[in-house]
Amino acid sequence: MLGYLAKRLSYFAVLMLVAAFLAYLLAATALSPRAYFQARQPPPPAAQVDAQLASLGLDPRQPVLVRFAHWAGHAARGDLGLSIKGGSVNDEFGRRVGVSLRLLVLGTLLGTVLGVAVGVWGAVRQYRLSDRTTTLLAFVLLSTPTFLLALLLKIGALALNQATGRQLISFTGEATPDLRGSFATVLADRGVHLLLPTLSIGLATLASYSRYQRSAMLDVLGSDYLRTAEAKGLSRREVLVKHGLRTALIPMSTFFAFGFLGVLTGATFTEKIFGWHGMGEWFIDSINNNDVNAVVAVNLFAAGTVLCAGLLADLTHAALDPRVRH
Amino acid sequence: MLAEVADVAEHAPVRRARITLARFLRHRGAMAGTVVVALLFLLAFAGPHLTPWSYSDIDYAALRQPPSAAHWWGTNGIGQDIFSQTVRGLQKSLLIGLAVAVSATTLAALVGAVAGYFGGRSERVLLFVVDLLLIFPSFLIISIISPRLRSGGWVAFVGLLAVFGWMISARVVRTLTISLKERQFVRAAQFMGVRPLTIVFRHILPSTASFLIIDATIAVGGAVMTETSLSYFGFGVQPPDVSLGTLIADGTPSAVTYPWIFFFPAVLLVVFVVAVNLVGDGLRDAIDPTSGAAGGRPLVRATQPPGDAVLDIRDLRVSFGPAPILRGVDLTVRRGEVLGVVGESGSGKSMTALAALGLLPAGASVTGSIGVVGEQVVGANRRTLGRLRGNRVAIIFQDSLSALTPVYRIGDQIAEAVRAHRDVDRATARRRAVELLALVGIPDPQVRAQAFPEEFSGGMRQRVMIAMAIANDPDLIIADEPTTALDVTVQAQILDVLRTAQRETGAALVLISHDLGVIARMADRVAVMYAGRIVEHATTAELFARPLMPYTLGLIGAVPRPDVGRRQNLVPIPGRPPGPREHTGCPFADRCPMVEPACREAEPELLGRDGHEVACRRAGEIAERALTPTEVYGIPATRPPVPARGGEPVLDVRGLVKTFPRDRGKVFKKRVGSVHAVDGVDLRIGRGETLALVGESGCGKSTTLFEILGRTAPRTGSIELLGRPVDGTWDKAGDVQLVFQDPHASLDPRLPVGDIVAEPMRARRASAKAIAARVPEVLRLVGLEPGHAGRFPHEFSGGQRQRIAIARALSVEPALLVLDEPVSALDVSVQAGVLNLLRDLKERLGLAYLFVTHDLAVVATIADRVSVMYLGRIVETGDVDAVFGAPGHPYTRALLSAVPIPDPAVERGRERILLTGEPPGAGTRPTGCRFRSRCPRYAELGRPDVCAAQDPALTGDARRQTACHFATPATT
Ligand code: SF4
Ligand code: SF4
């Protein structure tokens, strides 16, 4: 088991290195930081722009590999460079990472747990009204892009607030600015702010998980070993949970890694739409600003979280399937 | 679970495509989805002609107007018509979605199939790219690149989306391809010499079509969603052009104040994607035969009180929708008794077994009565069933890895059965599990209890199933084909254990088997099933001595018997069992040689005379004239002996050795030595001669066969065909062809029979004219009609399919036909026909056969010579008469004695040599005699040293050679 983990970790490390390299290459060649400076009023002289670019490590006269080596040298020491506005990417990263993680973790938890539950329920009640209803709902959710779902939630909340005449659901930012009060008030405020963003990324995950879990469970429900378990005289619950769900969860652990991608992508929209200053928002803004170093940093963040999800999936798999440990 | 139903349904000559279409049309969601998609396409392309406004027109007089007659869906902030804008955006989104889906799916299919088929580097690169893309979300990449592509327009955008959208599907195609590669029809094509790329395009890609179609459908929705998402952020379609995404983005700020600007495009987007997904879902359901469209509520009603025998089934009727599977079954089993149930597949045997435990699939209508120790099973609630199952009545399924939960240890699964009915703690239950394992003969039970099911061999798993069944001293054990797919030696052991278990517990046993030999050995009484009813029922001795129904006579006459041999003329029952339907006459009438018009008028009832019940109008006549199977079926009782032709060798194998690297470790593969799968084998087959190669699974017979078919010079030893060493090239004169075991798997279901038969000729670049002339010829040769060339494999029965496979092999006039277990997947009634055909072909065409099998009875009927293989070596070889008449090697003797003979008088009086243990894995290469660990003679002689010290060589005369230091002297 330890050997297996070590192997996975080293594979992940290789992936991460290649990802960092490609991310840099892509960002450095596809973005044009020069445009950012030239768009200033009044346009600065070319020499000055060059100097500024060079100070950011983005001197276009140098080959991109040299620029990468320069960046990698700093990155290895934990320095992700300067953003195009001159600030430290590290500082910005630090400010934003918590914001995003909060959304990602909550959204994933919500989606996974409820998705599995709904999927199993649907499989057991296959073709009944409840199954058909959840299926249809899942399809509608799956067919709504996250940005649209977020918008709809926002519009709904806005309408609700207007109708009741009170700020029932706050949805801009992560907290009400300058709110003073007890710890509980602050916590409740943050909770309310979390509601819509978490929902908008959690619901999509929930929908897709429920579909996959349903079909995984249906496969297992038709299996011979479930019939054997029934023939032993086990109760329905034991058959379904101990023999059914346990094995139906195994393929889901692989899907968990894929599913996390969706959460991550969804979070980008959610942050932008609800005004959360997280990594996703930063990403969109950085592209628009042609901010190479920041874009690379966000890509690294994305790669890192997906790899963590992958590792978690591996561990879950090993926990569910003792044959892997064996 | 529905295997039997599916098997019957499969016989129905209805095209699969038509069934799929019908299922799709019945799928309400899918139909709704299709209609919506069609309407939206219509709207997208006809819409612009419906209004005078073009999407870019500006109506300065109407800013932010709500829907009106002039502007149906209102206008936006600069006075553009929302309807024409939305329609234009829809058009754009649909086009992009379609283009992306088609290109991404094509790419995925090609890359996935090639990577999966060829493996190696291409596969590793694919997997790495997919992983890389996983940690590097494509959305991010596209966002970065897309703004730079503005000049390329939307074609470049489509390309970008496709380039980043194919990987996950490619990975699925790869997985599918890898499993297809193992499918027999693909391997058959490989052995016929079809080129790899042709195989990919002819066999692999069409087989993944259903997945690809579904995938492409869903990908349309996915691409539209991605496109709109990107456009929302300005990374997609660029102004002045519009797409649903840009429209939604434009409408967002004023969504509450001027909702029409936002909602029309948003709703259209969601509706479209939902519809597409529904279509994809419907396709999946329609293609997947296991997805059940639930019909009406099934009727489950006990119509009689339960009797008080251990098992008392009365007038049991089971149906799925309109298809009746059981049509009135009556059975009674008393304490301590063994009832055998026989019949062809699809006769309803297994359904009866499942019904007895209340394990029928949901959707089954059940009426009648099933009493188990006096309790009613039909319509019983879960608690009652839970109390009975595993406690009073237990079931043993046909071995398959899947019958045990893969993630729990063997011991725990047995302990669970104990704890389900007894109030004992975990430790006690575990101890009991170990005891039970010891009882069913698992060596080292304490340690083996810790193993997972996949670590056990088939025979061991079957012992586990028996242990589980007897855990609570049941009153009734039902064994459903418990030894099918096991080696004869292991079968003999399992039957022995089953017998012991039944005696120990005093339970009644219902033994379901298609093998009359097994029934003759085990059963006290036998019930013969046909088309969902019992058609004959008697004590075992009576039934085998005086069968009265033509069907039973056919079944008995079809079984090859090692004690009769080549003279035996096997009785083939013509036709195939009817599908699940009601019958107005005798259901056997279409296949019965004694049918008379009255038979078709009313279904004969099961009537008894002295405890011998039979459902046949002419049973009296059969009894009176004491008709034998061959008489009833009108064929000669024996075949005239055909002298073996011998002559110059067609195949000459000398000293063949084949080793495989042995790996250890699941994750880190390390080579820790080699496995000698074949270890010095000699084989010689003369023209017109049949050599049978027999042995248990894992003895190396398949490896030998694939070495010969591989046609490359072996590392060690030599293979000569018609006197020429093989060197990897095709030689018309020395061609070898192969017939696989399972005709369901070895014929590509998507090709018409004519194409299948012609495939080896095509691989050898035969002209179209030659093919057109040859195909009807070979079809006639194997007893089919030239007109069959245009039909598809699924329209044929198992026996006919095997004939197609034989025709395919014969199309290139091979010198040698290799037959790999050609009849073991067939029902015995069908098997007889194929064996007869093979014998006829050999006589007429002077073919040479290499017949690989584990079934010694078949060998006795068809082979001239036999070679018995054990652990990579030939241990005995010679003329069949000499070897089977008086086997010299202890292993041959044991194999022969393990073959059950369908004659209780012979079967029960026979001396039986039970081999202990299982065939050792191919990895072991013991010193001295390899058979030592299981040799009864070695044990009997007090373990003589010479067996351990010296590897016995094959010695003997021309008629027989034996590799044993203590070979029994030939008595013939
Ligand atoms: S009833 Fe007629 S058709 Fe049926 S088995 Fe008897 S003789 Fe044959
Ligand atoms: S040589 Fe010895 S161990 Fe081998 S088969 Fe003969 S008697 Fe048995």
B390 closest CB neighbour out of A23, A233, A269: A233
How does DSSP assign B34-45, residue by residue? HHHHHHHHHHHH
- Distance CA(B682)–CA(B663), nearest Å, equals 28
Q: Which residue has the tokens 């398949």?
A: B702
The interface pTM score, or ipTM, of the predicted complex is: 0.86
Name the CATH topology of B12-57+71-287: MetI-like fold (1.10.3720)
Mean pLDDT of B577-602: 91
Locate the ligand 1 atom nearest the alpha carbon of residue B600 and give its number. Answer: 3
What pLDDT score was predicted for residue A226? 92
Three-class DSSP category at A199: helix
Does residue B184 register a pLDDT over 60? Answer: yes
- Distance CA(B76)–CA(B247), nearest Å, equals 10
What pLDDT score was predicted for residue A121? 92
Residue B384 forms contact with A (CB below 8 Å): no
Neighbours of A105 (CB within 10 A): 13
Does residue B194 register a pLDDT over 80? Answer: yes
Greater confidence (B733 vs B484) lies with: B484
B870 in ligand 2 pocket by Cβ < 6 Å?
no
- Distance CA(B33)–CA(B42), nearest Å, equals 14
Weakest mean pLDDT among A173-177, B2-6, B122-126, B560-564 = B2-6
Locate the ligand 2 atom nearest the alpha carbon of residue B935 and give its number. Answer: 8
What pLDDT score was predicted for residue B972? 38
Q: What's at B685, amino acid-wise? A: I
Neighbours of B229 (CB within 10 A): 24
What pLDDT score was predicted for residue B824? 82
Torsion-angle region of B280 (φ positive above 0: left; ψ -120 to 50: alpha; else: beta): alpha
For residues A267 and A277, is the Cβ–Cβ distance under 8 A?
A: no
Q: Which residue has the tokens 């070895």?
A: B746
- Distance CA(B518)–CA(A168), nearest Å, equals 76
Closest to B347 (Cα-Cα) out of B372, B327, B320, B370: B327
The distance from CA B850 to its chain's CA centroid, rounded to whole angstroms, is 25
B932 in ligand 2 pocket by Cβ < 6 Å?
yes
Q: How many CB pairs under 8 A join A and B?
A: 186
B139: distance to nearest CA of chain A, Å? 7
Interchain proximity B389–A230, CB inside 8 Å: yes
A44: distance to nearest CA of chain B, Å? 24
Q: b/e for B435-458, b at 16 or more Cβ within 10 A? A: ebbbbbbbeebeebbebbbeebbb
What pLDDT score was predicted for residue B692? 95
What pLDDT score was predicted for residue B645? 61
Residue B670 forms contact with A (CB below 8 Å): no
The ligand that comes nearest to the alpha carbon of residue B595 is 1
Closest to B778 (Cα-Cα) out of B792, B793, B791, B789: B789
What pLDDT score was predicted for residue B519? 93
Q: In what order do the strands lie in the sheet with B508-512?
A: B393-396, B476-480, B508-512, B338-342, B525-530, B533-539, B612-614, B607-609
Reported as a single tens digit per residue, the pLDDT across B676-728 is 888 889 999 988 899 999 988 888 888 898 888 877 788 888 888 888 888 76
Residue B420 forms contact with A (CB below 8 Å): yes
Dihedral angle sign, alpha carbons of residues B51, B57, B61, B64: positive
CA angle centred on B412, ends B406 and B415, rounded to 5°: 135
Task: Supply B906's token pair.
Answer: 């012979």
The ligand that comes nearest to the alpha carbon of residue B963 is 2
Reported as a single tens digit per residue, the pLDDT across B266-320 is 999 999 999 988 888 888 777 765 555 455 577 888 887 787 789 999 999 999 8
- Distance CA(B239)–CA(B232), nearest Å, equals 12
What pLDDT score was predicted for residue B62? 73
**Best residue in B279, B407, B668 to probe A by mutation, most A CBs within 10 Å?**
B407
B397 closest CB neighbour out of A147, A224, A326: A224
- Distance CA(A237)–CA(A240), nearest Å, equals 5
Residue B3 forms contact with A (CB below 8 Å): no
Residue B423 forms contact with A (CB below 8 Å): no
| d(CA B937, ligand 2 centre) in Å | 7
Closest to B84 (Cα-Cα) out of B71, B98, B95: B71
- Distance CA(A85)–CA(B255), nearest Å, equals 34
Which residue on chain A is closest to B399 by alpha carbon? A224
- Distance CA(B118)–CA(B847), nearest Å, equals 35
In which residue ranges of chain B is CATH 3.40.50.300 found? 649-735+814-962
For residues A295 and B144, is the Cβ–Cβ distance under 8 A?
A: yes
B966 in ligand 2 pocket by Cβ < 6 Å?
yes
What pLDDT score was predicted for residue B414? 95
For residues A251 and A308, is the Cβ–Cβ distance under 8 A?
A: no
Three-class DSSP category at B3: helix
| d(CA B930, ligand 2 centre) in Å | 8
Chain A residues in contact with B248 (beta carbon < 8 A): 147-148, 151
Angle between helices B426-439 and B410-421 (to 10 degrees): 110
What pLDDT score was predicted for residue B677? 84
Locate the ligand 1 atom nearest the alpha carbon of residue B596 and give its number. Answer: 2
Residue A236 Cα distances to A120, A233, B566, B637, B889, angstroms: 14, 9, 54, 56, 53
- Distance CA(A32)–CA(A64), nearest Å, equals 13
What pLDDT score was predicted for residue B9? 38
If one residue of B913, B946, B962, B965 were mutated to test the ligand 2 pocket, choosing by the most ligand atoms within 8 A of its CB, it would be B965
Mean pLDDT of B214-233: 85
Does residue B253 register a pLDDT over 60? Answer: yes
The model's confidence at residue B498, banded by pLDDT at 50, 70 and 90, is very high
How does DSSP assign A16-69, residue by residue? HHHHHHHHHHHHHHH--HHHHHHTSSSPPPHHHHHHHHHHTT--TTS-HHHHHH
Three-class DSSP category at B327: strand
Three-class DSSP category at B478: strand
Does residue B7 register a pLDDT over 70? Answer: no
Highest mean pLDDT: which of A59-68, B110-119, B432-441, B715-724? Answer: B432-441
In which residue ranges of chain B is CATH 1.10.3720.10 found? 12-57+71-287
- Distance CA(B848)–CA(B648), nearest Å, equals 11
Domain boundaries B649-735+814-962, corresponding CATH code: 3.40.50.300
What pLDDT score was predicted for residue B815? 84
- Distance CA(A80)–CA(A97), nearest Å, equals 14
Task: Supply B209's token pair.
Answer: 């079509």
What pLDDT score was predicted for residue B289? 55
- Distance CA(B19)–CA(B211), nearest Å, equals 17
Highest mean pLDDT: which of B345-354, B541-550, B628-637, B854-863? Answer: B541-550
Neighbours of A280 (CB within 10 A): 28
The model's confidence at residue B663, banded by pLDDT at 50, 70 and 90, is low
Three-class DSSP category at B789: helix
Q: Which residue has the tokens 């990987």?
A: B167
| d(CA B942, ligand 2 centre) in Å | 11
Torsion-angle region of B591 (φ positive above 0: left; ψ -120 to 50: alpha; else: beta): alpha
What pLDDT score was predicted for residue B151? 63
Which residue's CA is minimally distant from atom 1 of ligand 1? B616
CB burial of residue B13 (10 Å; 0-12, 13-18, 19+): exposed
A231: distance to nearest CA of chain B, Å? 5
Mean pLDDT of B881-899: 90
Tally the residues of chain A: 326
Task: Supply A151's token pair.
Answer: 């918008």
Does residue B520 register a pLDDT over 80? Answer: yes
- Distance CA(B251)–CA(B74), nearest Å, equals 12
What pLDDT score was predicted for residue B667? 45
Dihedral angle sign, alpha carbons of residues B353, B357, B360, B363: positive
The model's confidence at residue B970, banded by pLDDT at 50, 70 and 90, is very low
If one residue of B873, B927, B935, B941 were mutated to test the ligand 2 pocket, choosing by the most ligand atoms within 8 A of its CB, it would be B935
When the pLDDT of each residue in chain B is averaged and rounded to a whole number, the result is 85
What pLDDT score was predicted for residue B792? 86
Which positions ≥6 away from A77 have C-beta within 8 Å?
none
Mean pLDDT of B808-830: 88
- How many helices (H) and strands (E) are present in chain B, helices listed first? 37, 25
pLDDT of chain A along its 326 residues, tens only?
A: 677 788 888 888 888 888 889 888 888 888 888 888 877 777 788 888 888 888 887 777 788 888 888 888 888 888 888 888 878 889 999 999 998 998 899 989 999 999 999 999 999 888 788 888 998 899 899 888 888 898 888 888 888 888 888 777 777 777 777 777 788 888 888 888 888 899 988 898 898 889 889 888 988 888 889 999 999 999 999 999 999 999 999 888 878 877 788 888 888 888 888 888 899 899 988 988 888 889 999 989 998 898 888 888 888 888 888 887 66
For residues B870 and B695, is the Cβ–Cβ distance under 8 A?
A: yes
What pLDDT score was predicted for residue B829? 82
What pLDDT score was predicted for residue B637? 82
Closest to B323 (Cα-Cα) out of B12, B5, B586, B18: B5
For residues B555 and B829, is the Cβ–Cβ distance under 8 A?
A: yes
What pLDDT score was predicted for residue B646? 61
Three-class DSSP category at B370: strand
Mean pLDDT of B652-666: 78
Reported as a single tens digit per residue, the pLDDT across B770-800 is 999 999 999 999 989 998 898 888 888 888 8
| d(CA B941, ligand 2 centre) in Å | 10
Chain B residues in contact with A160 (beta carbon < 8 A): none
Interchain proximity B274–A228, CB inside 8 Å: no
Which residue's CA is minimally distant from atom 2 of ligand 2? B947
What pLDDT score was predicted for residue B433? 96
Reported as a single tens digit per residue, the pLDDT across B835-872 is 999 988 988 888 899 999 888 889 988 899 999 999 88
Residue B229 forms contact with A (CB below 8 Å): yes
For residues A274 and A150, is the Cβ–Cβ distance under 8 A?
A: yes
Mean pLDDT of B363-390: 92
Interchain proximity A320–B386, CB inside 8 Å: no
Reported as a single tens digit per residue, the pLDDT across B503-512 is 888 899 999 9
Tally the residues of chain B: 972
| d(CA B533, ligand 1 centre) in Å | 14
Chain B residues in contact with A19 (beta carbon < 8 A): 132, 135-136
Q: Are strands B690-694 and B848-853 parallel, antiparallel or unpaired?
A: parallel
